[in-house]
Amino acid sequence: MIRFSDKQLKIPKLMRPVYLVTAGMSKFDRAFPETRTEELCIDALTAASDFVGMTPAELKKYIHTCYYGHFADHFGDQLLGEAVIHDRLGLDPLGNIGVKTGGATGGSAMWEAVKAVASGYSDCALALGWERMDEVPTDEGNHLISCAADKDWETPLGHIYTGYYAVMAQRYWKVFGKEQDSFRKTMAEIAVKNRGYARMNPHAHGPMKITVEDVTNSPIVAYPLRVLDCCLMSVGSACGVVCDEKTAYEITDKPLRIYIAAGSHTLRVADRRDMTIPLLPNETPGQYDDIGKKFPGGDRYPGFSSFLAARVAAYYAYHMSGVVDPSEDLDVVELHDAFTISDIQTYEDIGIRPYGEGRDYIESGDAYVINPLTKKPGKLPSNPCGGLIGCMHAVGATGLMQIAEIGYHIWNRWDEIHEPEEKWKAFGREKPKDWTSLQVKGAKRGLAISHAGVGSHVTCTILMDPNKLIKED
C-alpha cells in the first residue's frame, strides 16, 4: 500500500476509556539456566499484584481475558507456549490468545488487551509477555532470529539478522549522519546514557558505566554499529493489566488512561516503495520539500532511513490522545533503542525532531533525565530504565516493560520499583553506591514505542494521568 485512503487514515476510536491499573516485571538476564519460563512470568504477575496491594489470587479474580506476547516458539521448542503459561498462572478457563509481532510483540499484546476492554468484551484484561532466548547456542539463536526475515530471499544470506537490519543504519549514517565524527559521537552518547541509566535499575541485564570512547572502540558488529551500540538479548517477563473505568477504580485509586495504536510496513526492506511523508500534528505541508537538498539521497521516503510503521503508529496515537507535539505534551518516553542509530531514526519518525534532525534530541540534552548541558531536568527524558541497550530485550516482554516503566514515572513510584536494597539482593545484584533516582519529577504523560525488526510492526502507547488528559472524550 503506497497511498492511504481516508478510511485507512481514520483515527482509531476506543469505544470507552481504558486504564492501566498495574504492571510488573521479572528480573532480566542473558540466561536463567535453573529457572523455567513460567517462574519468570509468575514473578511478573506477582509484582503487578503487589503493586496494587493485592495477592495474585485477588488480582486474578478481576481478569477476564489474557493476551500473551511470546515471539519465538522455535527458541523454546514449545508450540502453544501461551497455553503452558496460562495454565501455570492459574488463569484457566479464561479465553487467551498468543500475539507474535517480532520485537513489537509486547506492545501488540497490550494493543489487543486494550481493544478487548474498549469494546466491552472484557472489563479487565491481562497483557503478559516473555521470551526465552538462552536455550540454544548463540549461532543457532542467530539463525533462529534470521528466520524473522524472508526465508527465501534473506535468511540464506548469512543467517544473520543484523546484516538485513544494519543496511538501514548504514544508509542513515551516510545520508543523514554524513559520516561525521560528531554524529558517531552522538550515537555513542545514547549507549553511554542508556547503559548508565540501567545501573540504577535492579531488573536491568546490561548496566555499564562507560564512555563515548568505550563505545567507539568496542568491536565492530556491522560498521558503523559496534557491540556497545547494540541492544541486549535477554530473558524475562513483564505484564500490564488494563480495565474499564469502573473496574479500574475498584483496583486502584490511581489508574492511568491508556491509548495505543499500531502501524506496519514490509517484512523485507527490499519491498519499500517511495511515498510522500505522512505528516504528524506538529509538522506542516511542504516542510520536507527540500530534504533531498539538505541531505542528498534523503528524498526517498521511507527508504532505508525511516520507519513508516512508527510514523503511522504515532499518527494514530497522537490524534487519539490529542498529542500535538511530543516534546511539549509528554514528560517521558521509552523508545525501542535496538541500536543507537535506530533510536535516532525513531526520534524523527515520532516527531520529537523533524526528519534529518534526530541527533539534536541527544545533542541538546533534552533526552536526559538531567540535561548534561544545563544541569536542569531534560525536556523529554528517554529510556530512564536503560532501554533495550541497557535494561533488556526479552522480545515478547520488551514493549510491556516499557509501558510499565512509563507507568511507574506517572504514578510517581519509580523509586519504589528501582531503589529497595532487598530487591537488588534478591536479584543477586549489587546496588551502586552512587545509586540515583531517575524518577521524572511531575511526570503526567508518557509514551512507549514497541518496534519489530526492520520495522514490520510498531505500536505507540500513550499513558496519561486521567486528570491531565489533553483531549476530552
User: Which of residues 143 and 185 has its CB atom nearest to another protein in the complex?
Assistant: 143
Q: Where are the alpha helices (DSSP H) in 199-295?
A: 212-216, 245-251, 291-294
CA dist list (Å): 175 to 59, 230, 263, 308: 51, 21, 25, 18
Measure the CA–CA gap between 436 and 36, rounded to whole angstroms. 32
User: Which of residues 78 and 282 has its CB atom nearest to another protein in the complex?
Assistant: 78
User: Which of residues 246 and 273 has its CB atom nearest to another protein in the complex?
Assistant: 273
Q: How far is the CB of 42 from another protein (least distance, A)?
A: 19
10 neighbors 320 (Cβ within 8 angstroms): no
Return the bridge partners of 130, or none: 237
User: Which of residues 164 and 347 has its CB atom nearest to another protein in the complex?
Assistant: 164
User: Which of residues 69 and 302 has its CB atom nearest to another protein in the complex?
Assistant: 302
Q: How far is the CB of 322 from another protein (least distance, A)?
A: 33
User: Which of residues 145 and 440 has its CB atom nearest to another protein in the complex?
Assistant: 145
CB burial string 96-126: b at 16+ within 10 A, e below: bebbbbbbbbbbbbbbbbbbbbbeeebbbbb
User: Which of residues 41 and 323 has its CB atom nearest to another protein in the complex?
Assistant: 41
User: Which of residues 146 and 234 has its CB atom nearest to another protein in the complex?
Assistant: 146
338 neighbors 388 (Cβ within 8 angstroms): yes
Q: How far is the CB of 218 from another protein (least distance, A)?
A: 14
Residue found by looking up cell 536542569 in the block: 376
Which cell is 228 given?
556497545
Measure the CA–CA gap between 259 and 256, rounded to whole angstroms. 10
Q: How far is the CB of 33 from another protein (least distance, A)?
A: 5
Q: How far is the CB of 296 from another protein (least distance, A)?
A: 10
Beta-carbon contacts of 263 under 8 Å, excluding residues fewer than 6 positions away, are 308, 309, 310, 311, 312, 313, 314, 315, 316, 457, 458, 459, 460
User: Which of residues 138 and 437 has its CB atom nearest to another protein in the complex?
Assistant: 138
Contacts to another protein by CB under 8 A: 1-3, 33-34, 77, 137, 139-146, 150-154, 156-164, 166-171, 174, 220-223, 268-274, 297, 304
User: Which of residues 3 and 375 has its CB atom nearest to another protein in the complex?
Assistant: 3
Return the bridge partners of 431, or none: none
CB burial string 16-29: b at 16+ within 10 A, e below: ebbbbbbbbbbbbb
Q: How far is the CB of 264 from another protein (least distance, A)?
A: 13
3-state secondary structure of 169: helix
Which cell is 467 given?
486528570
Measure the CA–CA gap between 367 and 122, rounded to whole angstroms. 37
Which cell is 129 given?
509477555
Sheet holding 65-69, edge to edge: 95-99, 65-69, 124-131, 236-243, 19-25, 256-264, 457-464, 445-451, 332-334
Q: Could you tell me which of 130, 198, 149, 21 has the C-alpha nearest to residue 398?
A: 130
